[in-house]
Amino acid sequence: MKLYFSPGSCGLASQIALHEAGQTFDLVKVDFKTKTTVEGDYLKVSAKGVIPVLRLDDGDLITEGAVILQWIADQNPASNLLPPVGSRERYKALEWLNFISTDMHKGMAVMFSPFLDDVTKRRFADGNLIPKFEYIDEHLATNDYLMGARFSAPDGYLYTVLSWTPRVGLDLSGHASIQQFMARMEARASVRAAREEEQRLAG
Ligand SMILES: N[C@@H](CCC(=O)N[C@@H](CS)C(=O)NCC(=O)O)C(=O)O
């Protein structure tokens, strides 16, 4: 199995889930500017040109980070990355995955946009992102992880997206529960392994 990724981006969530599931996988770094990898033209792998993409051992591809996380969870039920299919809890976890993907991830993407000026980005952060950070901080005040006491796949995705905030000048130090969540996540072997591997391949 191969994960197409780029250091410091949303592919980190897939890597964390793969480690949590005890899966072995290779990483293939994608150069966003040239849309190439060591294998050649990345657009031939995925015409969407974005990561993450998981290539299965039979050659099939899975795209879309939130879907990759569901695939990893369903292939490795013992890892409890998501509640069982059909359970009420499953839909709670999917609510989080969807919220992180469509609101948090794509909201944070606005802050990296080359098409917007800094004033517009600041107004967007104040009006759109800060209330979402407050909502998450409040939830984490009474929950160690998004789904309660135990880690699940949406946590790795939330951690990934929140880890971008310093890069775009957003200070979350006043959100104590988020800070504790980030520290809790950074203590996990899966996160440490994924981070180390990304650093090794970043150069
Ligand atoms: N809909 C995709 C979006 C993934 C996405 O935004 N990937 C970004 C990195 S976080 C990317 O590959 N950007 C490269 C580019 O835009 O050139 C998903 O949820 O997986």
Q: Which residue's CA is minimally distant from atom 18 of ligand 1?
A: 64
149 and 195 assigned to the same domain: no
Give pLDDT tens digits for 93-132.
999 999 999 999 999 999 999 999 999 999 999 999 999 9
Q: Which residue's CA is minimally distant from atom 12 of ligand 1?
A: 50
pLDDT value at residue 203: 73
Of 86, 52, 87, the C-alpha closest to 157 is 52
What is the mean predicted confidence (pLDDT) over 12-17? 98
Tell me, using a 6 A CB cutoff, whether residue 50 lines ligand 1.
yes
CB atoms within 10 A of CB 154: 27
Tell me, using a 6 A CB cutoff, whether residue 152 lines ligand 1.
no
Give the position, in ligand 1's atom list, of the atom nearest the Cα of 65: 20
Q: Are 104 and 158 in contact (CB under 8 A)?
A: yes
Residue 142 Cα to ligand 1 middle (Å) = 31
**3-state SS, residue 3:** strand
pLDDT band at 140 (very low <50, low <70, confident <90, very high): very high
Tokens of 132: 């979402």
Tokens of 105: 């991830």
- Indicate the top mutation candidate among 31, 45, 51 to test ligand 1's pocket, ranked by most ligand atoms within 8 A of CB: 51
Q: Residue 161 to residues 3, 134, 148, 154, 184: CA-CA distances in angstroms? A: 18, 15, 19, 11, 15
Give the position, in ligand 1's atom list, of the atom nearest the Cα of 9: 10
Give pLDDT tens digits for 29-85.
999 999 999 999 999 999 999 999 999 999 999 999 999 999 999 999 999 999 999
115 and 164 assigned to the same domain: yes
103 and 144 assigned to the same domain: yes
Rounded to two decimals, the pTM is 0.97
102 and 177 assigned to the same domain: yes
pLDDT value at residue 25: 97
Dist. CA 156–CA 6, nearest whole Å: 16
109 and 183 assigned to the same domain: yes
104 and 68 assigned to the same domain: no
Give the position, in ligand 1's atom list, of the atom nearest the Cα of 33: 17
184 and 100 assigned to the same domain: yes
Q: State what percent of residues in the chain have pLDDT above 90.
A: 99
96 and 180 assigned to the same domain: yes
117 and 94 assigned to the same domain: yes
Tell me, using a 6 A CB cutoff, whether residue 15 lines ligand 1.
no
Of 87, 67, 85, 91, the C-alpha closest to 17 is 67
Of 164, 141, 157, 149, the C-alpha closest to 190 is 157
pLDDT value at residue 118: 97
Tell me, using a 6 A CB cutoff, whether residue 79 lines ligand 1.
no
Residue range of the domain that includes 30: 2-80+190-202
Q: What's the total number of domains in the chain?
A: 2
- Residues near 60 by Cβ (< 8 Å), separated by ≥ 6? none
